[in-house]
Structure 1
Amino acid sequence: FGYQAPEGPAAGRPLGAWEEHGSASTIRVRTDGVTAYHEGDRYGWGIGTPPDGAAVCGMSEETPDRTGLLAYERGGVCGSRLVAVDLVSGRQLWARDVPDPSGTVAAGGSLVLTAPGAAVVARDLATGAERWRSPLPEGTTATGFQAGRERVLVTVRSASGTELLALDPATGAPAWRSPLPAGTEPARIVSAAPAASVIAGDRLLVFDARGRPHTDAGSPYVPSADGRRIRLGDVLVVAVPEREKREVLAGFSLTDGRLLWERPLGDDWSVPTLGGMPRGRVAVVSRGAYTHLWDLDPRTGAPAGEPAVLRVRELPMAGRTVLYGWTFVNLDPGGTLPPLFDLGPVYGW
């Protein structure tokens, strides 16, 4: 496999990564800047620390229209400045100062969402101009949001619990409001399309057009805090614990919340990472006595063939890793591992 040299201890803390399919680039975000790698291991473009020394403190999960959003920290406050970046060229599209920021930013459809003060603010993805401002219910604080072309979803927390709000993406007008069940982990929005879906109360909930939740009565416990899940079209694939003995993989419909399939990964007991692959398939790394790389159909869980065995001693893989096909992006701090590495084509894939 090919990979970059380790960055060293002076490197900023990694925050996350994006994939840009059109230019075959992987973009890695750190607190001190952004670096794009082309086709696995060649440098593309980079964004360094701004002249005022502001650190990157947040990033959008989604990248609609090849646009990524960065939140910068100023005066100890995260999100005081938003910057939109073209992921093909690295060019800054626009920048806006945000008064009373919350540090959370999301992008989806044609909108960029922030939650300054007691409101959700939607900006135009292309220009950064404010489109609308929707007040939050009294006594609540926004904890997460996601935008789609048909709805904007917001989770809010108050003294009485957590709720899910649905807003009109064109105006910000409230569409419906639904309480969320308490669980061992905080509620987290999964998707705004094809339906509103949230992990809450340790289960996947999918809401209809009136805000009524639906869940599969036989579904397993679904963790919300762990990032080992991927959304592929209208299917969610996630690693779930099985009787506290091992992790298995499960696929859920994001249309109605049904459990589509659940399967172990051979005799392996943990799933360090999983990610999307070409042709809409899912790549999964599992660990047991050996480490394996699987190629699965997200709708059925069926493998394309036998998994590939990965030689762990030669695999510079961090504890926190994002997987894009055969490209592994390391997100552990410290700079002792390469920022990313790329496996050669695996036989049979």
Structure 2
Amino acid sequence: MGPKRCSGGACPSGDGTAFTLGVLFAPLGVVAVSLTVSLARGRWAWGRRRVWGTVGCGLLLGLVPGRLWHDSLYGPRLDAVWAAPPDRPSDVRGVGNWGVGSTLVRARSDGLTAYNTRDGQERWTLAAPPRQSVCALGARTGAGTGLVGFAGYRQPCASVALVDLSTGRTRWRRAVTVEPGAGRIALADGTAAVAEDTAVRGLNAADGRETWRRNLGTGCRAGAVDASAARVLLVEQCEDGHAVRMRITSLDARTGAPRWSAPLPVASRPEELLVLSAEPAVIALRESDARGTAAVLSFDGEGRRRAAVPLSGRRDDLVLSAGTEDFAARPAFTAAVVRDVLVTAVEQPGDTGAHRVAAYSLRDGGALWDRSFEDDVAALTRGPDGNAAVLTRRFSDGTVRRLDPRTGTSVGEPEPIGGEDRLVGHGAAELYDDGHGRVVVNRDGTDDHPPAFGARPR
């Protein structure tokens, strides 16, 4: 059956399905045992004890083909082997996550918690300072560390800290003034970048000392900042009266020197700005002017604009994130840049959710392929093997699918997640591969969906 197995939607998951199939086969088992015993004894009159014994044997016999049929429907599957305890207090939400090897770090508004992805055991916790909350997270980690910001109630981020992700120890903490939210702080190899009101600063990752500063012009502010290992990507917004200008600049992470800079095609304030990749530079930009730019823009290593993929095209609307239901400090995009391809969840007119995945060339913006599922696309990421990994969700059942980013063809078979009910929540989710299986993180872990769980191949 191959890739066609459960191809349209979520494969059945959980032992409840196997039990149901077994019950359906149980009467056949009873009949089979009864006929066998009757033929062997040559008569039909039995005692009560023998009748009940035969019924019991038949029920057990019926469970076997039911279970085998169930397993044949599955093919490869993942079993949930651990689930984190519910979030408490009940008003907290996940704001972002990092996955580093066998460590999952889940940030809530009140601090960070690290889990061992092998067994779900809590490795460490780091509480936010008194009367402060997690306000920002760097999108990437570096050298086993992550950058986190803290803010008071309705205040800008007042400090950033570099955290050792193996121990939870704070390496250093520095005072800053940074707007809360995504795209405000970033971590390159050896440098932490923070976007403040009038400047972008580079801090030495070893001790937090300022190593460079890029002052912004009059009327200018940092719209977003992100980083790769060696580059810091800055999107700058400037206003002069009613005139609005925006520029994207790639900086050397170690020195802050500009490598290239390019104007963005805007004439009004941005309504939406997301950095999907720092290197290659890929951003999503939507102007407040309905007739303005609304596209994913890609740039080459010299700053030349390559592709413009409309956020709303003739056939599809790109669904890059969960919007207001996403992780606030570090969004879990339902889109991934894989080499020169953008793979993203999409909706078409009449769809009640994102049931499709499509790919576009970042060289010329052309559509490459699209796939349709009966399930919602809950998470999408680039896997360690270079393929796109997609988590689809039907109710609370999840299925992991791997797709070739160039063609959209399935790599291997779908992997339904079983072992427990109500695993994948209804808000934003994030999918990780720790080298031994899958880890899924839910934004809302206060209900009967776990904050995070791990699944392993059966």
Q: What TM-score does the superposition give when structure 2 sets the normalisation length?
A: 0.66
Instruction: Return the offset for 1:260.
Output: 6.8
CA 1:75–1:340: 2 relative to 1, 3 Å: closer
Q: When you count strand as a share of all residues, which structure comes out higher?
A: 1
Q: Partner amino acid for 2:178?
A: P
For structure 1, the 5+ residue unaligned runs are none
CA 1:217–1:199: 2 relative to 1, 3 Å: closer
Distance 2:317 2:455 in 1: 32
- Would the aligned equivalents of 1:7 and 1:336 in 2 still touch at CA under 8 Å? no
Deviates more, 1:201-210 or 1:24-33: 201-210
Q: Partner amino acid for 1:107?
A: L
SS of match in other structure, 1:280? coil
CA 1:163–1:216: 2 relative to 1, 3 Å: closer
- Would the aligned equivalents of 1:183 and 1:202 in 2 still touch at CA under 8 Å? no
Matched, 1:42 2:127: no
Q: Partner amino acid for 1:208?
A: D
Distance 2:281 2:175 in 1: 30
- Would the aligned equivalents of 1:204 and 1:222 in 2 still touch at CA under 8 Å? no
- Would the aligned equivalents of 2:360 and 2:369 in 1 still touch at CA under 8 Å? no
Aligned partner of 1:165 among 248, 253, 257 = 248
- Would the aligned equivalents of 2:262 and 2:304 in 1 still touch at CA under 8 Å? no
Aligned residue number for residue 215 of structure 1: 307
Distance 1:264 1:150 in 2: 35
- Would the aligned equivalents of 1:221 and 1:241 in 2 still touch at CA under 8 Å? yes
Aligned residue number for residue 187 of structure 1: 273
For structure 2, the 5+ residue unaligned runs are 1-79, 286-292, 323-332
Alignment of 1:112-261 (within 5 A): 112-149=192-229, 151-159=231-239, 160-161=243-244, 163-169=246-252, 170-174=254-258, 175-181=260-266, 186-193=272-279, 195-200=280-285, 201-215=293-307, 221-226=317-322, 227-232=333-338, 235-245=341-351, 247-253=355-361, 256=363, 258-259=365-366, 261=368
Aligned residue number for residue 63 of structure 2: none
CA 1:148–1:4: 2 relative to 1, 3 Å: closer
Instruction: Return the offset for 1:242.
Output: 2.9
Q: Calculate the aligned-residue CA RMSD, in Å.
A: 3.1
Aligned residue number for residue 188 of structure 2: 108
SS of match in other structure, 1:172? coil
Distance 1:277 1:185 in 2: 30
CA 1:250–1:202: 2 relative to 1, 3 Å: farther
CA 1:10–1:106: 2 relative to 1, 3 Å: same
Deviates more, 1:68-77 or 1:81-90: 68-77
Instruction: Return the offset for 1:148.
Output: 3.2
Q: What TM-score does the superposition give when structure 1 sets the normalisation length?
A: 0.84
Aligned partner of 1:279 among 376, 385, 391 = 385
Instruction: Return the offset for 1:312.
Output: 11
Instruction: Return the offset for 1:309.
Output: 4.1
Matched, 1:67 2:145: yes
CA 1:301–1:293: 2 relative to 1, 3 Å: same
CA 1:76–1:234: 2 relative to 1, 3 Å: same
CA 1:180–1:114: 2 relative to 1, 3 Å: farther
Q: Partner amino acid for 1:102?
A: E
- Would the aligned equivalents of 2:225 and 2:232 in 1 still touch at CA under 8 Å? yes
- Would the aligned equivalents of 2:92 and 2:108 in 1 still touch at CA under 8 Å? yes
Aligned residue number for residue 300 of structure 1: 407
- Would the aligned equivalents of 2:445 and 2:451 in 1 still touch at CA under 8 Å? no
Q: When you count helix as a share of all residues, which structure comes out higher?
A: 2
Q: Partner amino acid for 1:70?
A: V
Distance 1:274 1:123 in 2: 32
Q: Partner amino acid for 2:121?
A: R
- Would the aligned equivalents of 1:202 and 1:224 in 2 still touch at CA under 8 Å? no
- Would the aligned equivalents of 1:11 and 1:32 in 2 still touch at CA under 8 Å? no
Deviation readout 1:287-332 (Å, 9 max, x if unpaired): 4698533122233322123423456981322221111132111112
- Would the aligned equivalents of 1:178 and 1:212 in 2 still touch at CA under 8 Å? no
Instruction: Return the offset for 1:213.
Output: 1.5
Instruction: Return the offset for 1:192.
Output: 2.1
Distance 2:159 2:187 in 1: 15
SS of match in other structure, 1:61? coil
Q: Partner amino acid for 2:256?
A: G
Q: Partner amino acid for 2:378?
A: P
SS of match in other structure, 1:298? coil
Instruction: Return the offset for 1:74.
Output: 3.3
- Would the aligned equivalents of 1:84 and 1:93 in 2 still touch at CA under 8 Å? yes
Aligned residue number for residue 342 of structure 1: 454
> Relative contact order (alpha carbons < 8 A, sep ≥ 6): 1 or 2 greater?
2
Instruction: Return the offset for 1:235.
Output: 4.2
Count of residues paired in the alignment: 339
Distance 2:441 2:357 in 1: 21
- Would the aligned equivalents of 1:187 and 1:224 in 2 still touch at CA under 8 Å? no
CA 1:277–1:336: 2 relative to 1, 3 Å: same
Instruction: Return the offset for 1:333.
Output: 6.0
Deviation readout 1:231-284 (Å, 9 max, x if unpaired): 445543211223453542123455x35547322134x25312123444333321
Distance 1:295 1:167 in 2: 32
Aligned residue number for residue 18 of structure 1: 98
Deviates more, 1:147-156 or 1:131-140: 147-156
